[in-house]
Amino acid sequence: MDTPTESANRNVCLLTLGDITDGQLENISKEHCYSRGLKRKYLELHDDVDGQQEHNQSLSPADDCFDDNYDACQSEIESEKDEDEEEEEGALGGRRIVEVSVLAAKLDEGCSKCSTELKLSSCVGETRYGLGSLLKIHCIHCNEINNVPTGKRYGQNTWDINTKLGAAVVFCGLGEMTVNNFLAALNIPTVTSVTFKTREREVGSIFEAVANETCNEALAEEKKRSQDAEKFSVSFDAGWQTRGSGRNYASLSGHASMIGEKTGKILSYAVRCKKCRFCDKAPVSAEVNKHDCRRNWEQSSKAMEPDMALEMLHDLKARDFHVKHLIMDNDSTTLAKAKMSFDPNIQKNSDFNHTKKNSGK
């Protein structure tokens, strides 16, 4: 139920609207920032937490409905770039992720022109790069505008916080929309798709290098614990991103791994992918731009499993680990391919989990 004040404010606003003709009301509706999709920017311009209450009290209900500041709001949006860099002027709203030590050190250095101490309260804007920002801090002594970073950078203006974000989303299996929804709920500026994909690809190659290194370490440990080369055994299984029904296998990608019997650690892994967005979008007659293409399979999705098994068996053999026993499910195709193309004497042991599941059917 409305309070007397809320009820009175609404009545005043309705009375004001009643004095306007239909044509004027239609023009206002079209031009107002809320109707033109600028609601978020409009709110940011008025999101001064300390002065919000005073601002609201100074405006009449009519002024609140028809604030002319949407022009400034529109011009700010039009000046924004469609790239990774985003400019914002005036008092900052919302929250930011900062490295306290870096920010404090830059503030202690003082103004770049006169060395006067800088204060966060003198911030007049920012340039955002994903989750990182360059705060524009005004010097009260010489009027110089100083760019103060909120975190560490490396290379050609690459922000460490954005690289950490890329590693986090790959590790947790999150997507751009989920991450931006999470940031928006915390009132933290969202990350553009350019920054998101660039940093995701950057950390992806690092993850692969680390994975290969850990596989080598696990293989060395497996050799040491197995000792007898005639008893080298691995557990093998494959998976797909789309579940197969038994009659239809239409997944666009598949993955598989071989795990050492003694250590229980992954010794080798393989991935098959049937789709590449860059290649698919390129015209048939045009040359595809250079990119990190991961398409490596054109046959059926079901055929991925034996092919990945053969790849890993040969990979382990090249690293002096000739597999003699393959612990796997009851997939006869994979075993037949292994006997024909790898080692006719390789032995197959049934996996306990698959055998137990199949016996219950």
**pLDDT the model gives residue 59:** 41
Q: Is the pLDDT of residue 3 over 50?
A: no
Placement of tokens 């080598």 in the chain:
216
Contact, 146 vs 118, CB < 8 A?
Answer: yes
Rg from Cα positions in the chain: 31
Which residue's structure tokens are 């970073």? Answer: 149
**Which residue has better confidence, 216 or 35?**
216
| Residue 80 clears pLDDT 60, i.e. is over it | no
Query: pLDDT (tens digit, 9 = 90+) per residue, 148-196?
Result: 999 999 988 899 999 999 999 998 988 899 999 999 999 999 999 989 9
Indicate if the pLDDT at residue 313 is higher than 70: yes
Residues 6 or more apart whose Cβ sits within 8 Å of residue 325: 231, 232, 233, 234, 261, 346, 347, 348, 349
User: Percentage of the chain with pLDDT > 90?
Assistant: 47
Instruction: Identify the residue whose tokens are 């010794």.
Output: 267
Kindly list the distances between the CA atom of residue 193 and the CA atoms of 178, 198, 268, in Å, as whole numbers in the listed order.
12, 8, 32
Tens digit of each residue's pLDDT (9 = 90 or more) over 30-67: 444 333 444 444 444 444 434 444 344 444 333 443 33
The rounded distance, in Å, linking the Cα atoms of 245 and 180 is 34
Residues 186-214: tens digit of each pLDDT: 999 999 998 998 898 889 889 999 999 99
Lowest-confidence range among 319-323, 328-332, 337-341?
328-332
Write down the pLDDT at residue 262.
92
Residue 245: what pLDDT? 62
Q: Taking the complete model, does pTM exceed 0.75, yes or no?
A: no
The pLDDT value given to residue 222: 94
Percent of the chain with pLDDT over 70: 72
Looking at every residue in the chain, the average pLDDT score rounds to 77
Burial 65-99 (b: 16+ CB within 10 A, else e): eebeebeebbebeeeeeeebbbebeebbeeebbbe
Q: Quote the pLDDT of residue 342.
A: 94
Burial class (CB in 10 A: 0-12, 13-18, 19+), 294: middle
pLDDT score at 10: 39
pLDDT at 28 (0 to 100): 43
pLDDT score at 209? 92
* Res 87 pLDDT > 90: no
Distance CA 58, CA 88 (A): 25
CA 333 vs CA 279, 304, 327, 336: distances in Å: 31, 11, 14, 5
Residue 288 has what pLDDT? Answer: 80
pLDDT tens digit sequence for 101-154: 999 999 999 999 999 989 998 999 999 999 999 999 999 999 999 999 999 999
Q: Identify the bridge partners of residue 269 per DSSP, sorted by sequence position.
A: 257
**Residue 208 neighbours by CB distance under 10 Å:** 12
Enter the tokens of residue 57.
């009290």
Distance of alpha carbon 123 from alpha carbon 121, whole angstroms: 6
pLDDT at 310 over 50: yes
